[in-house]
Structures are given as structure tokens and as C-alpha cells.
Structure 1
Amino acid sequence: MTIAPGYAPELRLLLAGRPVPAALRGSVTSVSATCGFGDADRLEVALANEALRWLDHDLLRLDTPVELWLGYAPAEPARVFAGEVVGNQAAFPGTGMPTLTVVAQDRRTRLAAASPSRWFGVPIPHFGVMPLPDVAVAPVLALEHGLLPVIDPLGALLAAALGAVEAMASVDDPTLRQRVVRKQAGATSLDFLKQIAAENAWEIVIDHAADPAGLVLSLMSPAAHLAPDVTLRYGHSLIDFTPRLSTVGQVASISARVWQPSIRLKLTISVGYDWDRQALDISVTPGFGLPVGGKAKQVLLLDEPISPANAARVVLGKLLPKLNRRLTASGTCVGDARIRAGHVLRVEGVGETYGGLWRVTSVTQTIDAGGWRTSFEARKEIWFGSIPGPSQGAVRVQGGLLSLPAGG
């Protein structure tokens, strides 16, 4: 009886929708695919360019669709990247074989290249301009570049709630309504979309596993996805793990100055996070300045103009990213196509502080002479605070990993 090897990596590379020729597949020396939040994902394929056979090959021309599938035989591999060829780099060394590196990125590169000037509002006679909700603006940015947007239900609900606050605050003030209309000026469509995402607590990620390949743009709300997708244990499936706990750059709260012209009132709205209680604190004080009991080093005052209508969005967009940078980590494990940007890792065997649930913000799949390995960047999010540590796998290591000699 023949037993199939459990760790025989299988790599499938598709160009223009078809598997690459055997000769091209045999010339691949390494493959690296990095996928994450925000900016475009990137694939690099290094080829041994013997006799310059791949230098001007038709399959490697710009804009050629490319897909990377990874897995272990005999199971079916999973698609981990889908995009288009955006460039290549040739090397002609004095000694040794020439090489060619083919670079591909997903369609977010098209958003990064576009920077139109426009506003997103609907003129209504005798009323003024009504702002388009963010759940309509974000899909427009994606669709005009051939991407299919998907907003998860919790993210849509949060955006609708924030939009309702804006609508109620500006219903009797045409000037205020005009100020909350989304305007794109001097920013790329990708940066504009990232701003909208931050102010709605969304993350932007391409779902490479979904069909059609490389076209599904997920505007996900991390708070809606808290269950672990993969469990890694130090000393077993987790090769190395480097967590970083830091308060550098952290603030206790975000404060914003608000002017309400209808009643000629100055307000300071402050939103902070209590790490001990795992809860948000909100305070509103009259006048412009620090909230009562606040300390200058703990409060970040926003200089940008805001109003009661958009204060919640602006504060949320500034505070949440800072809170989620308090505890970050990087790690490596044996190649695993299940680990994707936006997924949740359950890390065990690293103690109470560093164990438990982590959100993957970036993942790199690499195959080279050393085999297949998966590297990732991750963060601890405030949403995980609602789950007890033991239920996450965050438990103290009993007895420690090292034994000290007697008397030492």
C-alpha cells in the first residue's frame, strides 16, 4: 500500500486562466505572495531565464491574469492570489544564469492610479444637497474599477447608524449637510476608500478564494468575525512568534472640538478606551480644550474641522487604529493556505498575555528551496476583550518552558 506524503506542497500557477506550460513551471525557482489590508496584494515569481527563453514570452506580458494555488497533495490546493501582471525585472549577471522576476498585483492598483475630483451627493429642490450614504459611496469606487464590493451585515449596520447621526444633526442646517457630503479632491480612489473604511470601522481586503477570481473586494467589519479560523501552537505548528506590546504612540482618548452654530455652543467630545474594564468611555464638555480631569499627554486634539454630524466618524477613524496597534505580532508556521488577511488565529502555548485570538493583517506565502512556509503579521483587537482569556486559549504556561537547576 502506498501512503501519500502529508507534507508534499503542490503549487499551481495559472496565466491567462490556464496552467503554465511544463517548461515554464520547471523554471520557477521561488514564489512569494503577500496579501493584507488596505493596499494592493503582491505576487512575485522568480524564473531561471536559461538562454533568455522567457524574456519576451507572450504569457508574461503586462495585464495578463495570474493565479496562484497552494496546498498539499493529494488534497485540492486553494487559491491564495489572483491579479494581473504589472511588471517584471530581468537580471543579466556576469557569471551565473540570467533570471526574470514577474510581479503581479490585484486590481486595487487601479484605484491607486485614479484620482478624480468629485462629490457624492444628490441635489434636492428646495432642500439642498443630500449626502449619499457610505454604503453606496464605497461600492461605487469599487465597481468603477471592475471590483465587486461585499459589505458584511454588521459593517453595513454600523455605517447606517453613523449615517443616521449625520442626518439628524444636519436635517435643519443646509450648510452642515453640505459639509458632510463626501468629497474626493486630491486623493486617489484607494486612499479615499481607505478613509471611508476607517471612519466606519471597516477593513479592505481582496477575497482571493472567492469567484470571480481576484474581483471580490470585501469591506469587512472585524467585530463581526471573532471565531478562530486556524489554531497554532508554539512548539508544534507555530515555528516562531514575536509579539510586541507597546504604549508608544498610544493615547488614552481622542478629543475633537465641535461648534454648533444653531445654538452658538462650543463643545469638546472625547472618546477613550479603558483597558482594565475593556470598555469605551465617552465624555462631552463645554468649551474648547481638554475634558475635565484629562491630561495633555493622554489626549489627542483633532485640528481638522468637524461638526456634530461627523464627529462620531472622525473620532472612530482616529481612535480605533491606535487602540489596535497596542499589541502586535509576527510569526511563521509551516505553509498553510487557510491563513488569510482578516482571518483570526488562535495562538496557544505562549502564555496569558500573548496567547489567544489574533487578527491577521498581512500574510506572505513563500515557496523556495527551503520549502513552503507562511509568515504573518497580526494584532490584538479590542473586540477580543469581550471573550474570556481561557476561552481564547490565553492561559498561563504551567511550570514554564525552562527548568532551572536546583539552587539556581
Structure 2
Amino acid sequence: MTFVDLREVSADPGHAGFWAPWFRVSMEGKALPQSVVRDIVQVTYKDDVNNIDSVELTVSNWDPAAQRCPYIGSETLQELNAGKPADTRLVLFEPGPNLLRLELGYAGANRLMVTASVTSLEPSFPGGGPPSLVVRALNRLHWMRRKPFSQAFFKKTPGQIALSFNGLRDGSEPRLPMRIELTERLQGREPEIDFIAQDNQTDIDFLIGLAHRFDYELIIAERPAPSKRTEEYLLFGPSDTSTRPVDYRLTWGRTLVEFKPQLTTANQVSKVTVRGWDRRTKRRISVTVDLKDRKAGALNRDLHRLLQQADARTEQVVDEPVFTVAEARRRAEAILQDRLKQVVTATGTTVGLPNLRAGSRLEIGGVGARLGGTYFVTQTTHTLGDGGYTTRFTARREDMAATGGTG
């Protein structure tokens, strides 16, 4: 794995030594005028492997010269009915089909964070200060939550099911706002699922559930594109595959402003049994996997000693809609792997890094062998405001083998 050393990045003139944080907000492809940009007091971007990306703009909603609210709170009914307010800022952030694009970074080294649509406005008219406005927008994927659907899949792998969402619905409109692709590790290496159904679920919720069922992730990734600076796509596959173009090595006391890990053996199990029913043979299915299985217990193997000392619960029995022995084993392995990922979790803060996103992998050092190692980032919050640009992340330790974890 190739890591980026922040000391090298800070020496790069393109990053302005992390001293010149920069952002751009565009609406329908046009950058906001400087008069509006000056009113934006804070920009916050959040992404999460389990939720849709969001952006939040905090805007000063008071014009002292005109003694009025320029964005919301001063419009008249006549202006709204006519669709021509005297000040166009009054409808600038109005929820609707207009797309908002957020770019974050540093002078000369910025990146597109999200293309979103405004979904809510939250004005505040306090008693002891000027009015303000919070504009919230959600990634385009939230369009996939407009309507639930039902369909069944027979004799398909999880990857084949995911790729089927690249087609058209009813031969007309695309099912997804962006293409879905499989990680390289996943392609051609999955067993078939006998049967699984999308039962009155939205497409995005079904895909997220499908990913979790097999210990996969569904992540928005980017790559260079000839016609534009970046192209977004959905990446479906195991979380131990790096899904971002840049990974970082962060060390406490040097490049980590704050790091708060948690090592816990609570709710851990040494065995998982999945029970189901084979419809062809009319027999019960029962498959057990445990930490001794090389594949099932691959994650955080250097911490298994702690689980044994803590006397983890002997077995977890799960009744699942599985229809073959192979499917039951795969599901049991996924449950055990998911538990192992929760042995060490952490939150941390570093200098603003626009390429540090949910789905990235971090190498954490300077915190000892049990807490150091490879982490998978599940959530990030990028904030640019009066305090500068910082990135806060939530991650889980996912070492495939014992590591020294030193920095």
C-alpha cells in the first residue's frame, strides 16, 4: 500500500502548506458571486458508508446596510407568486432541482466533494444577534429514495445483483444517478445466492442492505475523466480493498491533532451459527464458523488473544433466510468478521484533507501495537470556518494480520 506523508504534502507548493484553505460553491454550474461567498461563515461536508453524503452551509442572513434579510425572511407574497423577487438571493438556496456543487481544499489543490440538491432551509432569528441561515443538501443518491420497489433475484451473485441496477427502469430512466462497479477483488469470486428479494424497498436501501449482508460496503468513489475533472461512481465490494486514490499515514503527536480509540471485547463471540432451510432437500441447514477458521477470523488476528482472555460468548445462533450450506457459511463468516471489526474503533482529527473520505484506509502510528495498524474510515466530517479547515473521522481497525502499529 502507498501512503501519503503529510510532511511531504505540506511542502508541496500546490497545497500552500495547508495555510490557505479554500472552497467553492456552485449552483447549476455557476460559482456563487463573491457577495454571497462573503456571507458563508462555515462549510461542513459529511460522508458515511451507511448514509448519503450531505453538505451544510451556514450563511449570515442579515444585510446591515439595507436592514433586511437577503436570503429568507424579507420576501413578499407578491414577489413569490410572480417568481421575480427584487433580490435574487431570496430564492438562491430554495429547495428544488438545482444542483449544488461543493469543492474543498487549498489554494491550487482543491477537489470536488459532492454534487447535491438542497433539501432544507433552517433560518434562525435570535433575540441577541443577527439572523442566520443553515442550508442543507443531500447527495444525488437521495433521489433513489423517492419510491420503493419489489423484485426477486434467483441464482445471482451479490455483484451481479448490484450491477443489474445499472440498467433502465421500465426502459426509460436510469435506475441509478451514477454507475455501480465492483472492486477488483470481488470480480468473478463470489458464490451465487439461491434467492433474495427487494421487498418494498428503495433501490439505495436495498443495495446498502445487500452490502451489509455479505460484509461489503457501498461507497461513492471518484476517478479522473477526460470530459470533466472527476467522475463519480458507486463501488461495491469488501471494505479491505482501498477505494480512494490516496491513503494516509497519520501519527499521534505529529499529524494527528486528536485521536480517541476504544478497545472493547464486549459483544464479541467465538463462534457464529447460521440456520436456514434447504428448499430442494427439505432439510434444515446449520453451519458454524469460529475464530479458528483461517478465513473467518482473518481480521485483527493479533487481538484474538484478548478475546480469549475476556471469555467471549461461546456462540451466536442466527436464523437467516439462507437456502444452501454455502450461503449459510458465507453469512456466518460475514457476521463474525463484522464483530471482529468492532474490537478497536476510533475517532480522530487532523488537518483538513479533502481526499480523506469514508472508504479510505489509514495507517495509524504512535499509539502502540494494539491500537495502531490499518483502519477503515467509516465517516468523515470536513469543516471550514473561522477555525480553519479540519477533518474529523470515525474508523475501525481492520488489520488482516498482526502489525506492529508503531509510528
Q: Normalising to structure 2: TM-score of the pair?
A: 0.77
Tell me the alpha carbon deviations over residues 287-342 of structure 1, each in whole angstroms, 9 at most, x when there is no partner: xxxxxxxx993211112342225313432443332221111000001111121111
Instruction: Give the Cα–Cα distance (whole angstroms) in 1 for the partners of residues 115 and 314 of structure 2.
Output: 43
CA distance in 2, matches of 1:188, 1:317: 24
User: C-alpha distance in 2, partners of 1:255/1:225?
Assistant: 30
Distance (Å, rounded) in 1 between the aligned partners of 2:30 and 2:20: 23
Mapped partners of 2:215, 2:158: distance in 1: 12
**Structure 2: any 5+ residue segments left out of the alignment?**
1-12, 63-67, 73-88, 167-173, 299-310
What is the Cα deviation at residue 225 of structure 1?
Answer: 2.6
* Structure-to-structure mapping, 1:1-400, within 5 angstroms: 6=17, 7-50=19-62, 51-55=68-72, 57-62=90-95, 63-73=97-107, 75-121=108-154, 131-141=155-165, 143-158=174-189, 161-163=190-192, 166=193, 180-207=194-221, 215-225=232-242, 229-260=247-278, 266-274=284-292, 280=296, 297-308=313-324, 310-381=327-398, 384-386=399-401, 388-390=402-404, 394-395=405-406
Partners of 1:86 and 1:103 within 8 A in 2: yes
> Are residues 239 and 185 of structure 1, via their aligned partners in 2, closer, same or farther at CA, if it must alter by over 3 Å?
same
Alpha-carbon distance in 1 for matches of 2:153, 2:276: 23
SS in 2 for 1:156: coil
Question: Would you tell me which structure has more helix in proportion to its own residues?
Answer: 1
- Aligned partner of residue 186 in structure 2, secondary structure: helix
80-89 or 36-45, which deviates more: 80-89
Q: Identify which range, 264-273 or 235-244, moves more after superposition.
A: 264-273
8 Å contact kept, 2:219–2:358: yes
Distance between the aligned counterparts of 1:223 and 1:296, measured in 2? 25
C-alpha RMSD over aligned residues: 2.9
Is the CA contact 1:81–1:214 (under 8 Å) kept in the aligned structure 2? no
Counterpart CA distance in 1 for 2:312 and 2:59 is 56
CA contact (8 A) 1:66 1:85 kept: yes
Aligned in 2, Cα 1:273/1:97: closer, same or farther, shift over 3 Å? same
Equivalent pair of 2:268/2:313 in contact (CA under 8 Å)? no
Contact 2:267-2:312 at 8 Å conserved across structures:
no
1:14 alignment partner AA: S
2: CA distance, partners of 1:362 / 1:52? 35
TM-score by length of 1: 0.77
8 Å contact kept, 2:41–2:386: yes
Identity of aligned residues (%): 25
Over 3 Å counting, the alpha-carbon distance change for 1:220 and 1:61 in structure 2 is farther
Letter aligned with residue 216 of structure 1: Y
Cα deviations by residue, 1:231-271 (Å, 9 ceiling, x for unpaired): 11111110110010111222212102244466665452112
Helix, strand or coil for the counterpart of 2:191? Answer: helix
Distance, in Å, in 2 between the alignment partners of 1:263 and 1:136 is: 26
Moved more, 193-202 or 320-329: 193-202
Paired residue secondary structure (2:257): strand
SS of equivalent residue, structure 1 residue 351: coil
CA–CA distance in structure 1, aligned partners of residues 243 and 149 of structure 2: 37
Q: Give, in whole Å, the separation in 2 of the partners of 1:279 and 1:184.
A: 29
Contact kept in structure 2, 1:106 and 1:214, CA below 8 Å: no
State how far apart, in whole Å, the 2-side matches of 1:110 and 1:316 are: 33
Query: Which of 253-262 and 82-91 deviates more?
Result: 253-262
- Structure 1 counterpart SS, 2:200: coil
Structure 1 ranges of 4+ moved more than 4 A: 208-215, 258-267
Distance in 2 (CA, whole Å) between partners of 1:133 and 1:261 is: 19
